[in-house]
């Protein structure tokens, strides 16, 4: 393992990681049809990575919405345009903050737990044991977690957005006294289902879901079977996911806008 | 003690499979369940097996011994097809494992039980579900039947009462017995035990020992075990292979080997610190390393 | 097995919650949102111009919200908008000769309908019509001349200079563009106060290519965009004589103080306040107060 670390610079190593990750995605996708027989396992994983992340996602969504409401009210009041607060909160959250922050939270909360779980299964030979019991661990362990992530992240993103708008409304309307009708009428007049909800929240979330789940599963699956290895792998999951999310966000935005 | 620590320091655990060995051919009998011929494996530039030949008799308990890092576990993985050699064949029940497709390999594995060193129970499931796991994956048996089979196997290892415990609640010995129950749930023809006695207290060790023998005698299951515990092996094994440097260096029943005069057996069974397996990990000249200009001490 | 089922139920709940949130976002916070019918009655009004009024905008009496705009349609065959107001049942006592006005409550264009009570004893009922309306003031029309600026011309092949006196140059700066018909023809050479004068003396450097500018042309300080930079616009006159180097332009129009203009809107959007360009010399804001 040490010998491999020494070989090649950071760049070649990163490239090798990306390449290996891409190949792993192909393996994973090939295993997806086989993993349909483990549908219950997929459901169970949706529970673990999705439903268990709800608390953090909802809390953060609420606060992001509230702080946006506060800041925008402050800035927009300079121009006498506080009535646009709702619009800007909604658009900022739908297009950027919702999918991106949810994906970052998801990487920290669910991604690491996927990596650690699979890594521990690797370290304690559970994956080998499955192989020996003639159960394909890619189909039984990796694919359901991957699918669960891809399904759960868009749902979490949508919940985040709803909480964010609620938070913005709470601050803007309930505390700062923007007119309720103005808040909603400006928002509904500007926000577009196709551009903001489908392209913004859903498409980005699905893309992030694929990337984050892939990185988490890959890191777990290729963990060196030691406790150190698992620790490093979880760290790498967060770092790699965060970079990938933000870079991909830029690329997606430039295509979608 | 000091010597053991020294060994551990010089031979890190994860490199354990990467050292070298030699060879002695052995003729196979007709009743051979595993036949290894000319197996050569090179891992990360290190020769693990150098044209290894090995025959494991059906219905017997065979022990594979050797210094740490000789590739004993690697040999088991070759038998199950988890690893493939660079050359040579590994025939299990006549099928050459390296040639098998994934589906055939999986079919073969349903007839082969494998007991992992650290039991490898699935942490998500309780004891019952762990033992039931292979059944649920490969059969569509009614729940009642699964329940009966699982309870029978758990009864055989004496842990029927622990059916609803989670793996984290088990002691090492119990976990290994559960793993054993899982390994025999399909009534395999062959069970591979990877270090089944490591880390067990004497009571648990005797329980596992008894189980291995019972399974062998009552069900006629061929057993291959990799182990270091000399006393336990002498107690249980019908046949012992001593492998080192990629080859079989000695074989026979345990009692014969112990009194064999070869340097390998003498070092291994006599427990001497230095011998064919050197105490010193290969290094440059000691005097030079300490900074004495040229010459030895 | 019970353990497994609880996962399935929890997962199901999670998925349902996710889709509920999605449905909420898609239908309640976007343009898909329809006006909701509360415990209210609807009243119809007709406006010549609704400006930026949107469905769900508030309806206010004396600044207090009493309902919302339910729908805005064009009256077939007329240049007239039909606005349906949904007013709370609690406010049933609105005289039927009340006046509905579209007000603007901020610069960024959110408008609402204000109702000013009339004297009639009869009150509006469900399906009734408010006959007297005042349309939205088009801020754009008023400050239309502010828009449409550009950058200063920079490829000047020799210039000649003309001067002009302005009572107020706003934030006009040296180097700002000089345009005619929107095309840059030169730049502002200097902005100074001459000794003994109280107004700004501006020197314009105009490209020699544009030498045929009538000498009775007017110079005006305009703003490009709402918050944009200011420039000098030349509005050609009809004289046969052309401006020469050193000439003074007599007709000037000072910077429109956008603040002055909009101040009216921010305070209250009543058209009666909208007298021409308060205090600006020559400023002619094109107030389109519709019919009164």
pLDDT computed for residue C286 by the predictor: 42
Contact yes or no for A133 and B137 at CB 8 A? yes
The tokens describing B194, both together, are 């990877």
- Mean pLDDT value of segment B116-124: 87
C174 and C112 in one domain? Answer: no
C109, C136, C163 - which closes a domain: C136
Beta bridge partners, B95, equal: B92
Confirm or reject contact between A132 and chain B (CB < 8 A): yes
Q: Which domain holds residue C258?
A: 150-291
C269 and C154 in one domain? Answer: yes
> Is the separation of the CB atoms in C135 and C290 below 8 Å?
yes
Nearest to C29 among A44, A156, A165 (CB): A165
Residue B97 pLDDT more than 60?
yes
Contact yes or no for A124 and B82 at CB 8 A? no
Contact yes or no for A184 and C105 at CB 8 A? no
In terms of C-beta density within 10 A (0-12 exposed, 13-18 middle, 19 or more buried), how is residue B238 classed?
A: middle
Into how many domains does chain C fold?
2
Q: To the nearest whole number, what is the mean pLDDT of chain C?
A: 73
Chain A residue with the nearest C-alpha to that of B186: A133
Q: To the nearest whole number, what is the mean pLDDT of chain A?
A: 89
Question: Which chain A residues touch B106 with a CB distance below 8 Å?
Answer: 134, 136
Label residue C169 by pLDDT band (50, 70, 90). Answer: confident
Question: Which chain A residues touch C269 with a CB distance below 8 Å?
Answer: none
Question: Which chain B residues touch A43 with a CB distance below 8 Å?
Answer: none
Look at A85-89, C152-156, C207-211 and tell me which has the smallest mean pLDDT. Answer: C152-156
Percent of chain B clearing pLDDT 90 (strictly above): 13
Would residue C6 count as lying in a domain? no
pLDDT computed for residue B166 by the predictor: 92
- Mean pLDDT value of segment B91-116: 86
A86–chain B nearest CA distance, Å: 45
Mutate to test the interface with A, among C3, C12, C21 (most CBs of A within 10 A): C21
Question: Which chain A residues touch B92 with a CB distance below 8 Å?
Answer: none
Chain A residue with the nearest C-alpha to that of C1: A40
Question: Which chain C residues touch A205 with a CB distance below 8 Å?
Answer: none
Percent of chain C clearing pLDDT 70 (strictly above): 72
**CA–CA gap between residue B142 and residue B157 (Å, rounded):** 23
Q: Chain A 137-176, CB below 8 Å of chain B: which residues? A: 140
pLDDT computed for residue C96 by the predictor: 82
C101, C136, C171 - which closes a domain: C136
Contact yes or no for C106 and A80 at CB 8 A? yes
Label residue C122 by pLDDT band (50, 70, 90). Answer: confident
- Mean pLDDT value of segment C34-42: 64
Would residue C17 count as lying in a domain? no
> Is the separation of the CB atoms in A65 and A89 below 8 Å?
yes
C232 and C191 in one domain? Answer: yes
Label residue C31 by pLDDT band (50, 70, 90). Answer: low
C82 and C164 in one domain? Answer: no
Taking 70 as the pLDDT cut, the residues of chain A under it are: 1-8
Nearest to A29 by CA among A110, A138, A135, A141: A138
Q: Where are the domains of chain A?
A: 48-256
pLDDT computed for residue C180 by the predictor: 79
Confirm or reject contact between A124 and chain B (CB < 8 A): yes
Confirm or reject contact between A51 and chain C (CB < 8 A): yes
C168 and C58 in one domain? Answer: no
> Is the separation of the CB atoms in C173 and C256 below 8 Å?
no
C129 and C155 in one domain? Answer: no
Confirm or reject contact between A165 and chain C (CB < 8 A): yes
Label residue B105 by pLDDT band (50, 70, 90). Answer: confident
Nearest to A129 among B107, B120, B137 (CB): B120
Would residue C202 count as lying in a domain? yes
- Subunits with 3+ Cβ pairs within 8 Å of C are A
Chain B residue with the nearest C-alpha to that of A122: B120
Contact yes or no for A185 and C266 at CB 8 A? no
- Mean pLDDT value of segment B81-96: 86
**CA–CA gap between residue A115 and residue A121 (Å, rounded):** 10
Would residue C49 count as lying in a domain? yes
Look at A46-55, B63-72, C243-252, C281-290 and tell me which has the smallest mean pLDDT. Answer: C281-290
Runs of H (alpha helix) within C125-168: 139-142
pLDDT computed for residue B28 by the predictor: 37
**CA–CA gap between residue A104 and residue A160 (Å, rounded):** 12
Contact yes or no for B182 and A133 at CB 8 A? yes
Would residue C29 count as lying in a domain? no
Beta bridge partners, A257, equal: none
C132 and C179 in one domain? Answer: no
Between C247 and B18, residue with greater pLDDT: C247
**CA–CA gap between residue C73 and residue C83 (Å, rounded):** 6
- Mean pLDDT value of segment B174-192: 89
Q: Is A22 left (phi over 0), alpha (psi -120 to 50) or beta?
A: alpha
Chain B residue with the nearest C-alpha to that of A4: B44
**CA–CA gap between residue C72 and residue C49 (Å, rounded):** 11
- A57-81 pLDDT, tens digit per residue, is 999 999 999 999 999 998 888 877 7
Mutate to test the interface with B, among A114, A134, A225, A229 (most CBs of B within 10 A): A134
DSSP labels, chain A:
-HHHHHSS-HHHHHHHHHHHHHHHHHHHHHHHHHHGGGHHHHHHHIIIIIGGGHHHHHHHHHHHHHHHHHHHHHHHGGGT-GGGHHHHHHHHIIIIIHHHHHHHHHIIIIIHHHHHHHHHHHHTTHHHHHHHTT--HIIIIIHHHHHHHHHHHHHHHHHHHHHHHHHHHIIIIIIT---HHHHHHHHHHH--IIIIIIIIIIIHHHHHHHHHHHHHHHHHHT--SSHHHHHHHHHHHHHHHHHHHHHHHHHHHHHH-
- Subunits with 3+ Cβ pairs within 8 Å of B are A
Which three-class secondary structure state does DSSP give residue C93?
A: coil
The tokens describing A125, both together, are 């030979």
Nearest to C30 among A159, A181, A193 (CB): A193
Question: Which chain B residues touch A130 with a CB distance below 8 Å?
Answer: 122
What is the model's pTM?
0.67
Contact yes or no for A129 and B122 at CB 8 A? yes
C168 and C99 in one domain? Answer: no
Q: Give the number of other Cβ atoms within 10 Å of residue A5's Cβ.
A: 8
Confirm or reject contact between A135 and chain B (CB < 8 A): yes
Nearest to A181 among C14, C17, C57 (CB): C57
CB–CB contacts below 8 A, A to B: 54
- Mean pLDDT value of segment B92-118: 86
- A196-219 pLDDT, tens digit per residue, is 888 889 999 999 999 999 999 999
Mutate to test the interface with A, among B14, B131, B167 (most CBs of A within 10 A): B14
DSSP labels, chain B:
-HHHHHHHHHS-GGGGGG--B--------SSEEEEEEEEEEEETTEEEEEEEEEEEETTSEEEEE-STTSSHHHHHHHHHTSS--SEEEEEETTEEGGG--HHHHHHHHTTEEEE-TT----TTS-HHHHHHHHHHHH----HHHHHHHHHHHHHHTT-GGGTT--GGGS-HHHHHHHHHHHHTTT--SEEEEESTTTT--HHHHHHHHHHHHHHHHHH--EEEEE---HHHHHHH-SEEEEEEBTEEEEEE-HHHHHH--SHHHHHHHHT-SSSSS-SSPS-S-HHHHHT--SS--
Q: Could you give the C-alpha distances from A185 to A83, A89, A182, A191, C206, in angstroms and in order?
A: 10, 13, 5, 10, 49
**CA–CA gap between residue C112 and residue A148 (Å, rounded):** 47
- Mean pLDDT value of segment C80-92: 85
Chain A residue with the nearest C-alpha to that of C24: A162
Would residue C60 count as lying in a domain? yes
C136, C169, C185 - which closes a domain: C136
Would residue C1 count as lying in a domain? no
Would residue C16 count as lying in a domain? no
Strands C132-134 and B95-96: unpaired
- C15-25 pLDDT, tens digit per residue, is 889 999 988 88
ipTM of the complex model: 0.77
pLDDT computed for residue C88 by the predictor: 84
Residue B173 pLDDT more than 90?
no
C126 and C177 in one domain? Answer: no
A126–chain C nearest CA distance, Å: 21
Which are the contacts of C194, defined by CB distance < 8 A and separation ≥ 6? C201
């Amino acid at each position: 393992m040490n010998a491999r670390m020494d070989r090649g610079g950071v760049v070649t190593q990163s490239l090798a990681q990306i390449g290996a990750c891409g190949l792993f995605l192909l393996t994973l996708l090939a295993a997806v049809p086989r993993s349909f027989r483990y549908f219950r396992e997929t459901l169970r994983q949706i529970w673990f990575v999705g439903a268990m992340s709800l608390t953090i996602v909802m809390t953060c969504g609420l606060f992001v919405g509230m702080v946006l409401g506060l800041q925008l009210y402050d800035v927009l009041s300079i121009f006498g345009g506080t009535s646009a607060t709702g619009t800007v909160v909604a658009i900022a959250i739908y297009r950027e903050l919702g999918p991106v922050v949810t994906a970052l939270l998801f990487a920290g909360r669910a991604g690491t737990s996927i990596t650690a779980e699979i890594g521990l299964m690797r370290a304690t030979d559970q994956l080998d044991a499955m192989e020996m019991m003639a159960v394909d661990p890619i189909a039984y362990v990796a694919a359901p977690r991957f699918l669960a992530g891809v399904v759960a992240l868009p749902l979490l993103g949508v919940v985040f957005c709803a909480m964010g708008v609620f938070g913005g409304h709470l601050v803007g309307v309930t505390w700062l006294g923007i007119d309720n009708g103005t808040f909603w009428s400006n928002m509904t007049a500007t926000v577009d289902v196709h551009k903001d909800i489908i392209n913004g929240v859903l498409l980005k979330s699905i893309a992030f879901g694929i990337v984050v789940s892939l990185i988490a599963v890959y890191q777990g699956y290729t963990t060196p079977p030691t406790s150190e290895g698992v620790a490093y792998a979880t760290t790498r999951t967060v770092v790699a996911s965060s970079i990938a999310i933000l870079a991909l966000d830029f690329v997606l935005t430039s295509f979608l806008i | 003690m000091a010597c053991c620590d020294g060994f551990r320091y010089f031979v890190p655990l994860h490199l354990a499979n990467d050292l070298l060995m030699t060879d002695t051919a052995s003729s196979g009998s007709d009743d051979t369940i595993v036949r290894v011929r000319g197996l050569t494996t090179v891992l990360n530039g290190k020769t693990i097996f150098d044209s290894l030949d090995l025959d494991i008799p059906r219905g017997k308990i065979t022990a594979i011994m050797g210094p740490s890092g000789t590739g004993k576990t690697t040999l088991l993985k070759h038998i199950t097809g988890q690893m493939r050699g660079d050359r040579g064949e590994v025939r299990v029940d006549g099928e050459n494992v390296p040639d098998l497709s994934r589906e055939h390999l999986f079919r073969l594995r349903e007839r082969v039980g494998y007991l992992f060193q650290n039991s490898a129970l699935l942490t998500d499931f309780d004891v019952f579900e762990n033992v039931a796991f292979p059944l649920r994956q490969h059969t569509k048996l009614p729940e009642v039947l699964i329940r009966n089979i699982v309870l029978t196997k758990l009864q055989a290892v004496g842990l029927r009462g622990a059916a609803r415990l989670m793996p984290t609640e088990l002691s090492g010995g119990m976990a290994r017995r559960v793993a054993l129950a899982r390994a025999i749930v399909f009534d395999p023809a062959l069970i591979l035990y990877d270090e089944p006695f490591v880390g067990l207290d004497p009571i648990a060790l005797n329980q596992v020992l008894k189980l291995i023998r019972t399974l062998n005698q009552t069900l006629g299951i061929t057993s291959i075990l990799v182990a270091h515990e000399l006393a336990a092996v002498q107690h249980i094994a019908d046949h012992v292979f001593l492998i080192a440097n990629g080859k079989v260096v000695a074989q026979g029943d345990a009692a014969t080997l112990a009194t064999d005069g070869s340097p390998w057996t003498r070092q291994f069974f006599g427990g001497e610190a230095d011998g064919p397996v050197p105490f010193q990990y290969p290094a440059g000249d000691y005097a030079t390393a300490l900074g004495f200009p040229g010459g030895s001490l | 097995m019970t353990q497994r089922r609880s996962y399935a139920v929890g997962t199901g709940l999670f998925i349902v919650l996710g889709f509920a949130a999605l449905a909420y976002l898609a239908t309640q916070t976007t343009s898909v949102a329809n006006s909701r019918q509360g415990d209210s009655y609807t009243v119809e009004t007709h406006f010549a111009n609704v400006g930026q009024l949107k469905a769900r905008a508030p309806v206010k009496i004396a600044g207090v919200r009493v309902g919302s705009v339910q729908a805005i349609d064009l009256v077939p065959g007329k240049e007239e908008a039909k606005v349906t107001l949904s007013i709370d049942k609690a406010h049933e006592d609105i005289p039927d000769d009340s006046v509905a006005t579209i007000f603007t409550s901020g610069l960024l264009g959110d408008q609402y309908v204000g109702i000013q009570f009339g004297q009639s004893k009869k009150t509006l009922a469900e399906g009734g019509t408010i006959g007297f309306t005042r349309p939205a003031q088009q801020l754009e029309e008023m400050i239309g001349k502010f828009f449409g600026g550009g950058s200063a011309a920079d490829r000047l092949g020799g210039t000649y200079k003309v001067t002009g006196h302005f009572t107020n140059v706003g934030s006009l700066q040296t180097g700002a563009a000089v345009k005619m018909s929107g095309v840059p023809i030169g730049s502002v050479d200097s902005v100074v106060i001459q000794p003994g004068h109280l107004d700004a003396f501006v020197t314009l450097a105009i490209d020699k290519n544009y030498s045929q500018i009538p000498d009775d042309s007017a110079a005006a300080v305009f703003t490009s965009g709402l918050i944009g930079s200011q420039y000098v616009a030349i509005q050609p006159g009809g004289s046969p004589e052309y401006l020469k180097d050193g000439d003074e332009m007599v007709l000037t129009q000072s910077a429109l103080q956008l603040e002055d203009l909009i101040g009216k809107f921010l305070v209250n959007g009543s058209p009666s306040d909208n007298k021409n360009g308060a205090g600006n010399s020559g400023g002619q804001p094109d107030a389109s107060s519709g019919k009164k």
